[in-house]
Chain A
Amino acid sequence: MGRTLECVPAGWEKRKGVSGMRAFGLTAYRTQWGVLKTVAVALVITLVTAGCFGAGGGDEGDGATGGAETSEGPVELTFWSWVPDLQKEVDLFEEAHPNIAVKLVNAGTGADEYTKLRTALKAGSGAPDVVQVEFQFIPTFRQIDGLVDLSQYGANEVKDDYADWAWDQVSEGDSVYAIPQDSGPMGLLYRKDIFEKYNLEVPTTWDEFAAEAEKLHKANPDIFMTDFPPSDPGWFTGLLWQNGVRPFEVDGTNVSVSLDDPAVLQVTEFWGDLIDAGLVDTTPDFTNEWYSGLSEGKYASWVSAAWGPVFLQGIAGKTSGKWRVAPLPQWEEGEEVTANWGGSTDAVTTQSDNPEEAAELAIWLNHDPESVAMLNETSFLFPVLESHLESDDFKTKQYPFYGGQEVNEVFIESSNNVDTGFEWSPFQDYVYSQMSTHLSAAIKGEMSYTEAIEDLQSTVAKYAEDQGFTLQQ
């Protein structure tokens, strides 16, 4: 629809014998017929304009449904993703699949895209065929029946090729709701020069981390051991994950919420003490202030994830050679437990008219060796495909920004140690927003960290109940 309508009909002025705007004015205002004709023209304009609006909306829908109309021509898929330079991988896919045309759209990063996706799903049209979704939002979109079970299109055939924990995140039993694309097993990025200058040891446990933080602060109060971002619940959840917290268990409409268990309190109070003692800064991350802090030596370390090293290179270029990467500090000496922060998947929406082709795109893009290599090398995604994780080229790549360290090795190890069995809630945006609100309140001193966590638990539990879930103990 809409394709035959033009916003400004060609030759319109000539045919009507009036000049556009004057049609509304006095020239044609001579007789009643003239008046009526003017009105008629105005109406036509209205309808054409409305038609154009309609066409604008319709085109998006067409992208998603176009293929169904023409069984002969290529199937057209719409693909929402914010991965940089993804067009190259999409071109590869199109080369390998002459019958499928892909329209790649950047519909915003993270929350921006989710808002659009949710609106489209709610409206009943306008969602793409394939969509990028971060791990933590898969249950949220499943809850509103937004994602197609890909097991019917052969997704389970590639199951064993991915890191266990990653597959665990996208599947439930034999059902598969997305194909993992990249991940963020966590690790510690630190400033070797600052550590050496102040005689700090690279911490292997969180206790050591706190002790070194205190030592650093005494030596130089202008430098913080690290930053605790009050509005990055994904980061905080990663830390909870590492400590064995399982905040949600979901079984159909039964949900258990354990945001206040001792392991949560342990993590929260640990960081709360550091913040209250002024050893750790609380600047929101991914803001200009924070970027400056990292490049100006305000922070001695960044508790980060596998995508962090390349990202940091981009924002703190002048600190090249000064950073190193270490494994994530542990709660118990000698343990090797890590968690994941960030990373995405590609899922197929229930609005797709060509779910089979859409599934093929989601799988191929994240499984084909050439495409996966490209995602890693040009889009800087940390892979979840075992074959790529274990390839020598990847493992032994040296990064000058990190003094030639083989950075990937640390994160491959971390990827292998990510705890499986971590579940997200089916209303993750609410949980995240409440987590930010409560942590912020505690940082501001409006309540203690313990109170914040207890209140977080009761707020989220109440929301779950209000939304019709049955709470399990």
Chain B
Amino acid sequence: MTVQREQTLPAVSGKPSSDSRTKDGKPRGPHRQLGPKLVPYLFLLPFLLLFIFFLILPLVYALGISMFEDRLVGGSVFIGAENYLRAFRDQAFLDGVGRMLLFGVVQVPIMLALALTFALILESGLVRFRKFFRLAIFLPYAIPSVVAALTWGYLYGPTFGPFTQAAEFLNITPPRFLSEAGMLPSLGNIVTWEFTGYNMIILYAALQAVPPELREASSVDGATGWQIARYIKIPLIAPALVLTTVFSIIGTLQLFNEPSIMGAIAPTVIQNDYTPNLYAYNLAFQNQQYNFSAAISFALGFIVFVGSFTFMTAMNRRNAT
């Protein structure tokens, strides 16, 4: 760039004469000037603008309307925290949260155990066609969850679904996937099928960052493959396991697509309030209770936050001891 242009800079960056960077762009020391300090923020600006307009502002708006009650007749009235008090006393909401916690306690460990197992096997080099298996296990994640739920819904069919047909052919009682008792496991199966591959990729990537020297050293010391996995690899990828667990907790509490699709084929089991997110959606778009729906959403966000935070704290404490 021309010298002339550099001289126009003071207005923007303060002291152009003490440029903190050399000609080849390497930093020359701590940034003391205002200008260079601002630069990272300027880089962040495009993200920040979108972040503010498409996330923060809608959140603020939702928070705002959650403090009102808008009636079909009579308009909007400010009611403060009443929607929140109502939310935490709302049996339908609490039941939904309870249902999702039960779901998560069973489904998340199963899914992560599978993901970890696959990741360890693939990374160990024990199997051939590693790339193929990696892709095959990951593939369900690439399928839109709505399509996945529709497909599984067909497979679960109580009269004409293939499992039922097969069971009838073998003269055994067909499994009741879509019954009251069968629904949570059925949903868990879909979610596990969808997300095991995704979690496996994260864990697999973490495993690849484990220094090979450690493995070699332990091999030399006579550790078996299982011992290497148990005492070297898994402890070293603990942060990735924590990450995938937190993502899974968040995902579980926000379950929406799968129950929403299943609701069409099993309406007596999956009602409007089956999961907290489904409940919030139906409150807003079916019952026209936008305000209460906003409050429910924030209440759910709060529970998600508490859930993730509790888990992280517990993990940190365990690491500290």
Contact = CB atoms under 8 A, between A and B. Distances in A.
Given A289-B160, A292-B160, A466-B71, A230 B267 contact: yes
B72 A427 contact: yes
A230 B46 contact: no
B46 A46 contact: yes
A231 B73 contact: no
B218 interface: no
Given A30-B1, A32-B9, A443-B268, A289 B286 contact: no
Interface stretch (B37-45, B251-259, B300-308): B37-45
Nearest to A293: B159
B39 A426 contact: no
Contacts of A463: 287
B72 A426 contact: yes
A54 B164 CA distance: 50
A284 interface: yes
A429 B266 CA distance: 19
Given A30-B1, A437-B272, A46 B49 contact: yes
A396 interface: no
Contacts of B154: 288
Contacts of B272: 433, 437
B174 interface: no
B68 to A, nearest CB: 13
A211 interface: no
Interface in B173-204: 180
Nearest to B285: A115
A256 to B, nearest CB: 15
B72 A144 contact: yes
A29 B25 contact: yes
B19 A31 contact: yes
A430 interface: yes
B316 to A, nearest CB: 35
A39 B42 contact: yes
B288 A430 contact: yes
Contact of B45 (A31, A42, A283, A296): A42
Interface in B117-164: 153-154, 157-161
A282 B268 contact: yes
Give the interface SS of chain A, mostly helix, strand, loop or mixed: helix
Contact of A46 (B6, B50, B71, B282): B50
Contacts of A21: none
Interface centre among B45, B71, B180, B265 (most CB of A within 10 A): B265
A33 B5 CA distance: 7
A468 interface: yes
Interface residues of A, number: 53
Interface in A392-418: none
Nearest to B6: A33
Given A287-B265, A433-B282, A46 B72 contact: no
Contact of B46 (A45, A111, A283): A45
A440 B160 contact: no
Interface in B234-277: 264-268, 271-272
Contact of A33 (B9, B24, B50, B285): B9
A143 interface: yes
B268 A230 contact: yes
A283 B178 CA distance: 11
A39 B287 CA distance: 46
A39 B72 contact: no
Contact of A437 (B50, B53, B264, B271): B271
Contact of A284 (B19, B267, B287): B267
Contact of A468 (B39, B53, B71, B282): B71
Contact of A32 (B6, B45, B267, B290): B6
A230 B264 CA distance: 11
Nearest to B47: A46
A5 to B, nearest CB: 16
Interface in A428-459: 429-430, 433, 436-437, 440-441, 443-444
A258 B50 CA distance: 50
B6 A231 contact: no
B21 interface: yes
Given A46-B50, A427-B72, A444-B180, A118 B271 contact: no
Interface string B46-67: 1001100100000000000000
A310 interface: no
Contact of A467 (B43, B73, B157, B290): B73
A284 B21 contact: no
Contacts of A443: 268
Contacts of A119: 285
B271 to A, nearest CB: 5
A282 to B, nearest CB: 7
A50 B53 CA distance: 10
A39 B39 contact: yes
A33 B35 CA distance: 11
A78 to B, nearest CB: 21
A42 B50 CA distance: 13
Contact of B73 (A293, A436, A437, A468): A468
Given A443-B268, A467-B73, A32 B35 contact: yes
Contacts of A30: 1, 23-25
B12 interface: yes
B159 A298 contact: yes
Contacts of A111: 286
Nearest to A296: B160
A26 B24 CA distance: 10
A36 interface: yes
A187 B81 CA distance: 51
A30 B19 CA distance: 11
A105 interface: no
Contact of A440 (B21, B43, B271, B290): B271
A152 interface: no
Given A433-B272, A440-B271, A284 B266 contact: yes
Nearest to B46: A46
Given A29-B25, A467-B288, 11 more contacts: A31-B6, A32-B6, A33-B5, A33-B9, A36-B9, A39-B42, A39-B43, A45-B46, A253-B73, A284-B265, A437-B271
14 contacts: A30-B25, A35-B39, A36-B13, A50-B49, A115-B285, A282-B268, A284-B266, A284-B267, A288-B153, A289-B158, A293-B159, A440-B267, A444-B180, A466-B71
Interface of B: 1, 5-6, 9, 12-13, 16, 19, 21, 23-25, 35-36, 39, 42-43, 45-46, 49-50, 53, 71-74, 153-154, 157-161, 180, 264-268, 271-272, 282, 285-288, 290
Interface of A: 24, 26, 29-37, 39, 42-43, 45-46, 50, 111, 115, 118-119, 122, 143-144, 230-231, 253, 282-284, 287-289, 292-293, 296, 298, 426-427, 429-430, 433, 436-437, 440-441, 443-444, 463, 466-469
- A-B pairs, top 10 by smallest CB distance, nearest first, are A468-B73, A231-B267, A468-B74, A468-B71, A440-B268, A46-B46, A292-B160, A39-B42, A467-B72, A33-B1
